[in-house]
Amino acid sequence: MEIYESYVKQILKKNGVPIPKGGIAYTPEEACRIAEEIGGNAWVVKAQVMSFDRYKGKFQEEAAQELSGIVWANAPQAVAGITEQMLGRHFLSPEMQGVPQIVERVYVEEACHATAEMRLSLRIDFVSQNLVLATEFDGQQHSYTLTQKPLSMKQIQSVVRDMGWRDGDAKEVAELLQKLYALFVKYEAIAVEFSPVFKLLQGGFSVLNARIIFDTDSLFRYPDVAALQEFPRGREREAAAQKYNFRYTQLDGNIACLVNGVGLGLATIDMIHAKGGRVACLLDVGTEPTKEAVSKALRLALSEPSIDGVLVNIYGGITRCDTIAEGIISAAHEVLAGLPFVVRMAGTNAHIGRRLLFESRMPFVVSEQMDDAVTEIIHEVQEVA
């Protein structure tokens, strides 16, 4: 889970990480006022979107076409003008995977002049199943797998030496690394990244941009961070999924897939793709879904106009197929609307689940085998189309 840059900056400030002066603005007038308060003679206007590569992004509208997500201005009036151009417009960067976001606010920051620039990051690496610290400076990249925790001053000093920092600079960079590590631990982050960090012309270091990836499973310990989570327009489905405790992944086909478990989900997608179909979205209701969660997940999927059919593939272990069937029936009453709907059920209480579906007298195609079910849904969807 990620939060907007303006919130990340608040967290950095609270934890003693040096950042440029800045503030959040919802209108051009506010942006102008913030620029005046900050003072100086140059500012940066940063679109607040859920993306870390804003400088690579573009606005979709012609009126703001020449702007990226991060723009320099050399007068408070220019800050206001740029803000005016950004607000309400659709922004898209490579990281946003084709889903543009409307800019609703900007972050106005003092412009910084650098004599050197570096990147620091610490993350849980799911490949090595360990923590990995990475640095980038002066064209050199280093990466360290941390097996010893906590990170010792000695280790930090050797990382700083590897980067090539000496004397007073080395001391300041070591402090930054300590703070990066402290943030990672304090917020139980999946990743913390300071990128870029400037060595300022006037001396000292400043973190110009940072990203913290939070673990949704540990957010119960950080209600103040959880309160900062926002789902931009266009991603409301993910918000609903989180609320009802299932996982929603959007893809680009026309068959909605509901499964219990990520492995079975991926296998189902593989099979649909191999047989010539395309998956529109994957709904993973997990091990112990309630009837309401299943029903909500299906209604959510069917609210997408691109859907031409639904495949439910459940292998019940702890998951009870009868609960799934109840959820399916309650959703189908409202939204089925003649769409092809294939249900594969096997495992715990599958016979009860299948009987419930049959007794509902709704036009489900029920199957015991996964490949029969996949063949059937692809066939039916092709007939509809």
Partner 1 sequence: MSGFVFPTKETPILCQGITSEMGAVHTERAIAYGSRIVAGTSRDKRIRQFLDIPVYQTVKAAVRRHKPKISVIFSTPRRALADVEEAIKARIPLIVCTAEHVPLHDTLKMKELAQKYQVTLIGPSSPGIVVVDQLLAGNAPAHLFPKGNVGIIGRSSSLVYEAVQQLRQAGLGVSTGICLGAAPLVGTSFKPFLEAFLKDRQTKAILVVGQIHGALECELAEAYRKSRRKKPLIVYIPGISLVSSSKIPLMGTKTLVPAEIIKEKQALLKKAKAILVSAPELMGQTVAEQLK
Residues of this chain that bind partner 1 (CB under 8 A) = 1-2, 97, 124, 126-129, 131, 149, 185, 188, 190, 213, 215-218, 220-221, 242, 247, 249-251, 259-271, 273-274, 282, 284, 286-287, 314-319, 346-348, 370-371
CB of 181 to partner 1, least distance (A): 13
List, in order, residues 6 or more apart from 97 with CB less than 8 Å away: none
* Nearest to partner 1 of 127, 337 (CB atom): 127
Contact 57, 21 (CB under 8 A): no
List, in order, residues 6 or more apart from 139 with CB less than 8 Å away: none
CB of 302 to partner 1, least distance (A): 19
Q: DSSP class of residue 79?
A: H
* Nearest to partner 1 of 184, 198 (CB atom): 184
CB of 137 to partner 1, least distance (A): 23
d(CA 48, CA 69): 8
* Nearest to partner 1 of 37, 288 (CB atom): 288
* Nearest to partner 1 of 171, 351 (CB atom): 351
* Nearest to partner 1 of 121, 206 (CB atom): 121
Helices 370-384, 262-274: inter-axial angle, 10-degree rounding: 50
- Give the DSSP H or E segment for 6: helix 5-14
* Nearest to partner 1 of 68, 229 (CB atom): 229
* Nearest to partner 1 of 66, 372 (CB atom): 372
The two three-digit tokens of residue 381, written as one number = 């969807």
Q: Using alpha carbons, list the distances in angstroms from residue 88 to 22, 49, 59.
A: 21, 12, 10
CB of 121 to partner 1, least distance (A): 14
- Angle CA(144)–CA(146)–CA(148) in degrees, nearest 5? 145
CB of 122 to partner 1, least distance (A): 12
* Nearest to partner 1 of 269, 357 (CB atom): 269
d(CA 312, CA 260): 9
The two three-digit tokens of residue 197, written as one number = 């960090």
Task: Determine the 3-state secondary structure of 109 from DSSP.
Answer: strand
d(CA 210, CA 120): 10
Kindly tell me the sign of the dihedral angle through the C-alpha atoms of 207, 230, 46, 119. Answer: positive
CB of 77 to partner 1, least distance (A): 38
CB of 263 to partner 1, least distance (A): 3
CB of 228 to partner 1, least distance (A): 16
CB of 26 to partner 1, least distance (A): 27
Question: Given strand 365-367, what is the order of strands in its sheet?
Answer: 247-250, 279-284, 255-259, 309-316, 341-347, 365-367
d(CA 36, CA 50): 27
Q: Which long-range contacts (CB under 8 A, 24 or more apart) does 381-385 make?
A: 381/254, 381/255, 381/277, 381/308, 381/309, 381/340, 383/340, 384/308, 384/309, 384/339, 384/340, 385/254, 385/308
